[in-house]
Structure 1
Amino acid sequence: MNDRVQLPAQLLLNLGALRDKALAADTLNTLAFSMANDLYPLLQFRQALVLAQRGESFELLCVSGLAKPQEDSPYLVWLRRSARWLAKQLHGNEPQWLSRDVLKPPAEVADGWTEWWPAGVWCVPLQGRNGKRLGLLLFLMDAPPLEPLQPLLQGLWQTWAYCWSTLTGQRRFAGWRPGRRHALLALALLGALALVPVRQTALAPAEIVSREAKIVSSPIDGVIAQMLVRPNQAVEAGTPLFTLDETTLRSRAEVLSREVAVADAELLAASQRAFDNPQSKSELTVLNGKAQQRRSEWAAVTAQLARTHVLSPRAGVAVYSDPNDWIGKPVVTGERILQVADPAQPAMLVQLPVADAIALEVGAPVTLYLTAYPLEPLEGKILETSYQARSTDESVVAYRLLASIEGEGGPRRLGLHGTAKLYGERVMLGYYLLRRPIAAARAWLGW
């Protein structure tokens, strides 16, 4: 008996080393191996088992003396079945001595206990920092440990529990942990949500334009001499918009007018000579044609001079960028200079990128959120859509959509920009969320 008392007293000096070894463990398996084997010199147990609790079931982490237990052995199959019953016999969180004769286990537990275990087992429950049980440490012994030894080991139990919690990532106030049943319920709920019908939507940049806008282009080749209206200036029908430089045309008109005078003089002289000179009669036809040609050229240049002053084709607002961008700029016939738009008939011009395109029909609702007025959205409906995508000024391939602006009030100034939200047909939520990933996968895989 004296040897048994002196032996623990000698080994108690190594409890600090056991704590340091537990704190140095980098995995839960390493910690479990230390828990199952390092206390043998102190307790002289027959076998030690480390069980991790997973809900209501237990998982065997380590058996003393074994590097890796065989999970299909009869002993371990019985142990997994009996661990639940054994855990229910524990009262509180303190280590307890459980005797087979006192507990009188049921037949399915008693048979294995009689065959593989001694008369008693010392159960040490390990608690996490949140108060939840992490697992059980079972020491199979013939007799309970010495009473003076049990309080001294309490610090070691706490160290092992702290390291266990740290290695498994358990937080101090960790909440409810879902089980397999809850995971299946969550998957069923997600599957049901995927079938919920939702409205398909898309976002695209948009601008307020006029539904009634006339494009004013250059009537002839020339150079812009002067812009007579400012951007966004209200104009009436017939208001001068801009003028082209007349220097070249006026010089050409003066030359042609002199050539017309010379051709008329030559024709008159030939007509007078024709009375007494038969040869002059043959020249009359040529000179008459030449005079008519010069007169036609002069009339054409005069008409071009009249077209150097461009007038507004209708009442509205002059829409263009900056007068300084046009003054002195050479233009060709038909080149767009500006627009005359009717501000009383605003509309939304939406540039829908091809990557975000959804199925849209005429009459689909549109909501425009202006950048300058985000709290005053504008409502409307699609009036027309383009079947062919074109590259925008930002080098984005997009479809052109024109939508109306309904209702009264709200900011409707031409040129305001914002983001339009387009509403398509109803689809399942799963399709709504996975549409773009599926399209990207098909484009990448080629099927």
Structure 2
Amino acid sequence: MRDRALAADSLNALAFGMANDLYPLLKYHHALVFSVHDKRLELLSVSGLARPTEDSPYLVWLRRLGPWLAEQLPDATPRWLARADLSLPPEVADGWGEWWPTGVWAVPVHTRDGKRLGLLLLLLDAEPPAALGPVLSGVFETWAYCWAALTHTTRRWRPRRKQVLICLAVLAALLLFPVRQTVLAPTELVSHETQIVSAPIDGVIAQIAVKPNQPVVVGTPLFSFDETTLRSRIDVLNQQVAVADAELQTASQRAFDNAQSKSELAMLGGTARQRRAELAAAQAQLERSRVLAPRAGVAVFADPDEWLGRPVVTGERIMQISDPAQPAMQIQLPVTDAINLEAGAEVVLYLSTFPLSPLHGKILQTSYQARAGDDGVMSYRLLATVEGKPAHARLGLHGTAKLYGERVSLGYYLLRRPIAAVRAWTGW
């Protein structure tokens, strides 16, 4: 019996052995094994049967039996409970007379510190011999040891009420502690002094004369348009001017003796002037087909191959000339992370290429309207200065900026976004 108890891998297996192992010795009607929870009994096993799963009248009566059995078994000593020697309450007497024999041998299962774990009931017609108790005491102790091992749970620490109140007070004080409100946003280094270079005429770009990020000075050729169409038009306009001049000269000679030719002079003069104006406009466009740098700086644009042979319209942005000596931070602040930021708020930029050398600055301006960026995220565009003249503040570098707002309580800092989400979801 001890070996089977020690080999049990679950409480149900142990209860099955307790209900059946003593039968060859005591020849009882049947045995019941209960798990005790305060004064409530939970049936684990019945000798010779599988555990009942339905709420039969017998099981209902056994559950009502728990408080009465607890009063009859004050300690861990096994006791013989004979029906004739007990004053049974009506709810117990009715069920005993229907389902139980003359008596029951009750064997409590206790831990070493006196906590009751379970109860074994052996239903007999006569009290077992007195000498049998000491013989089975070792078996009972083994069952108690195995039961405690199979149901052992680590005792959890539970704080007292005073400790809970102190913790709540400390937490409330911490939530009221003032902190600087901060937010992170992707940032790019740009120039504070930038001039856009756009297409001066409609046409097709034939050549890009500079490379991306190439330093330029005033008058440096930047790009040029295909001149084939313009030169052909100029040639045609030159011929039209020559024809208009010839017609005007012929009409002038005939005007001395021909009244009709004299009336045509004004019209032919206007046509000649119109042809010269068209020729001057075409020549001006030809001169603008070569775009020069309007200021000194760095040419900032994408891959030149993307522009070669590409038709553009007047005013279309081609590149920009930026002053590398005046870097600035261009910050894309997502709408979902936006906080109250005023001009002059502190900014710290951590570049991806120089994470150990942050750049410091202050906000110069903020956009009123949010727009979708290249990643499709609605963001506000902010511009911030770069303090000093750090050598690693090169245009085009990217990083993450930390923006510092006004001071708020720690509770607001932590719960700002959850509160906004809850209010948007509930409409409160």
- Which residue type is aligned with residue 246 of structure 2? A
Distance 2:292 2:409 in 1: 55
| Number of the residue aligned with 2:10 | 23
1:177 alignment partner in structure 2: 157
Question: How far apart, in 2, do the equivalents of 1:380 and 1:297 lie?
Answer: 53
Q: CA deviation at 1:367?
A: 1.4
Cross-structure match for 2:241: 260
CA 221–351 in structure 1, closer or farther in 2 if over 3 Å, else same: same
Report the secondary structure of 1:153's partner residue: helix
| Secondary structure at the counterpart of residue 294 of structure 2 | coil
Residue 295 of structure 1, CA deviation: 0.3
Q: Which residue of structure 2 lines up, in the alignment, with residue 324 of structure 1?
A: 305
Query: Match for 1:389: what amino acid?
Result: A
Report what 1:118 is aligned to.
none
Closer/same/farther in 2, CA of residues 380 and 396 from structure 1, 3 Å limit: same
Q: TM-score, normalised by structure 2?
A: 0.74
Matching of residue 367 in structure 1 with residue 348 in structure 2: yes
Q: Is the CA contact 2:5–2:146 (under 8 Å) kept in the aligned structure 1?
A: no
Distance in 1 (alpha carbons) for counterparts of 2:338 and 2:369 = 12
Distance 2:131 2:297 in 1: 102
Structure 1 residue 148: deviation in Å? Answer: 5.0
In the TM superposition, what whole-angstrom CA distance separates every residue of 1:387-414 from its partner, at most 9, and x where no partner exists?
1000111111110111111134252111
Residue type of the alignment partner of 2:143: L
CA–CA distance in 2 between the matches of 1:144 and 1:208? 95
Specify whether residues 285 and 357 from structure 1 end up closer, same or farther in structure 2 by C-alpha distance, changes over 3 A only.
same
Q: Is it true that 1:220 corresponds to 2:201 in the alignment?
A: yes
Does residue 379 of the first structure (1) align with residue 366 of the second (2)? no
Shift in CA distance, 292/408, structure 1 to aligned 2, threshold 3 Å = closer
The residue matched to 2:111 in structure 1 has which SS?
strand
Deviations 1:359-390 (A, max 9, x none): 11111111111112222211111110011000
Determine the structure 2 residue equivalent to 1:400: 381
Residue 162, structure 1, aligned to residue 143, structure 2? no
Shift of the 138–21 alpha-carbon distance from structure 1 to 2, 3 Å rule, reads closer
Deviation at residue 428 of structure 1 after TM alignment? 1.9
Describe the SS at the equivalent of 1:279: helix
Q: Which residue of 1 aligns with 2:332?
A: 351
Give TM-score, length-normalised by structure 1: 0.71
* Distance of 1:185 and 1:70 partners within structure 2: 44
Distance 1:408 1:308 in 2: 38
**DSSP 3-state at the match of 2:362:** strand
Aligned to 2:278: 297
* Equivalent pair of 1:216/1:336 in contact (CA under 8 Å): yes
Code of the aligned partner of 1:322:
D
8 Å Cα contact 1:378/1:410 also seen in 2? no
Which of 320, 328, 346 is the matching residue for 1:339? Answer: 320
> Do the aligned residues in 1 keep the contact of 2:237 with 2:275 (CA within 8 Å)?
yes
Q: Distance in 2 between matches of 1:291 and 1:192?
A: 90
Q: Does 1:277 align with 2:258?
A: yes
Contact 1:205 1:419 (8 Å CA) reproduced? yes
Q: Is the 1:204–1:351 contact (alpha carbons within 8 Å) kept by the matching residues of 2?
A: yes
**Could you say what secondary structure the match of 1:400 adopts?**
strand
Residues 111 and 145 of structure 2 are in contact (CA less than 8 Å); yes or no, is this contact kept in structure 1?
no
Corresponding residue for residue 371 of structure 2: 390
Runs of 4 or more off by more than 6 Å in structure 1?
Answer: 33-44, 48-52, 63-66, 73-76
Change (3 A) 1:350 1:289: same
Residue 197 of structure 1 corresponds to: 178
Q: Hey, what's the Cα distance between the residues in 2 that align with 1:392 and 1:185? A: 48
For 1:331, the aligned partner's letter is: V
Matches of 1:327 and 1:284, distance apart in 2: 48
Q: Distance in 2 between matches of 1:435 and 1:35?
A: 60
Flag the 1:214–1:154 CA change in 2: closer, same or farther, 3 A: same
| Matches of 2:244 and 2:198, distance apart in 1 | 36
Secondary structure of the residue aligned to 2:381 is strand
Amino acid of the residue matched to residue 141 of structure 2? Q
**2:390 is the alignment partner of 1:419:** no
What is the Cα-based RMSD across aligned positions, in Å? 3.8
State the identity %: 54
Measured against aligned partners, the alpha-carbon deviations of 1:280-330 in whole angstroms (never above 9, x if no partner) come to: 211110110000000000000000001001111110000001110101000
Q: Which residue of the partner structure matches residue 125 of structure 1?
A: 111
Tell me how far apart the structure 1 counterparts of residues 427 and 265 of structure 2 sit (CA, whole Å): 80
Q: Could you give the per-residue CA deviations for residues 335-375 of structure 1, whole angstroms, max 9, x where no partner exists?
A: 00001000011011111111111111111111111112222
> Any stretches of 5+ residues in structure 1 without a counterpart?
1-12, 53-58, 80-85, 87-94, 98-120, 127-132
Residue 20 to residue 210, structure 1, CA distance change in 2 (3 Å): same
How far apart, CA to CA, are the structure 2 residues paired with 1:199 and 1:156?
63
Q: Distance in 2 between matches of 1:60 and 1:190?
A: 40
Distance 2:333 2:65 in 1: 63
Q: Give the distance between the partners of 1:363 and 1:144, measured in 2 at CA.
A: 95
**Residue ranges of structure 2 left out of the alignment (5+ in a row):** 44-58, 78-106, 121-129
Deviation at 1:437, TM superposition (A): 1.7
Opposite residue 158 of structure 1, the aligned amino acid is Y
CA distance in 2, matches of 1:227, 1:354: 38
Aligned length: 370
1:99-110 matches, cutoff 5 A: none
CA spacing shift, 1:63–1:290, aligned 2, 3 Å: closer
Q: Distance in 2 between matches of 1:300 and 1:226?
A: 23
Mapped partners of 2:221, 2:166: distance in 1: 74
Cα distance in 2 between the residues matched to 1:334 and 1:444: 45
